[in-house]
Structure 1
Amino acid sequence: MIVRVITVYVKEEYIEEFKTATIKNRNGSIREPGILRFDVLQDTRNPGVFLLIEVYASEEATEAHKETPHYREWKEKVEPMMAKPREGKAFIPIAPTDSSEWE
């Protein structure tokens, strides 16, 4: 299991449009067989900062996700909205370790 945490910095004038596009991508993503969870969070103090928390069954599932039409559409749409490049990190879960607890 792989947990990816992506920080996205969005220009103020695009915040609502970014949220709409990201929710659409999230809704497509959670239908993928290798994605166990996909959360979208907004910073309470800086509304232009978002965290995407994506839980994948495997590294192969992360690569497959990047090839989906909904991800490619999202990436193309939101890249011009970003104040700076997004930052991503990959983690392995310590707890919970049972994938059913991530759903």
Structure 2
Amino acid sequence: MKSKLVVRMAELVIDPNQLEAYRAHLAEEIEASVALEEGVLSLNAVSIKDSPHRIRILEVYASKEAYEAHLQTPHFLKYKGETATMVKSITLVDAEPIIMRGKP
């Protein structure tokens, strides 16, 4: 039986005075997660045009177990600790995939 994908969107508001530092931490965390975790299928971060401090992250995991394992990794815990004062709000939205395609 194939595991069900976990797809979620994280909607973040970042302190504009710390945006550059936040983006560096986010890039480091995403790179490590995709490279080191088999269950992390994709992590894509974008900012809202004209509001660069409003960040959206589309997260795709192979399963609930992969998502839960991701939350315990050293690189994710480091990211959470280093950005705790930078993130002014976060909303996590669970999503159901309709169609997801990409090119390598």
Q: Same fold (TM over 0.5)?
A: yes
Answer 1 or 2: which has greater helix percent: 1
Superposition RMSD in Å? 1.2
Is 1:41 aligned to residue 46 of structure 2? yes
1:33 is aligned with what amino acid? E
Aligned-partner Cα distance in 1 for 2:11–2:84: 13
Runs of 4+ with deviation above 6 angstroms = none
Deviation at 1:91, TM superposition (A): 1.3
Q: Which runs of 5+ in 2 are unaligned?
A: none
Deviation at 1:94, TM superposition (A): 1.6
Is 1:52 aligned to residue 57 of structure 2? yes
Q: How many residues align?
A: 98
* Cα deviation 1:42-81 (Å, max 9, x = unaligned): 1112111001111111111110000000000000111101
Q: Give the secondary structure class of the aligned counterpart of 1:93.
A: coil
Deviation at 1:5, TM superposition (A): 0.4
Aligned-partner Cα distance in 1 for 2:14–2:86: 6
Is 1:82 aligned to residue 93 of structure 2? no
Residue identity (%): 26
TM-score normalised to structure 2 length: 0.88
Residue in structure 1 matched with residue 13 of structure 2 by the alignment? 9
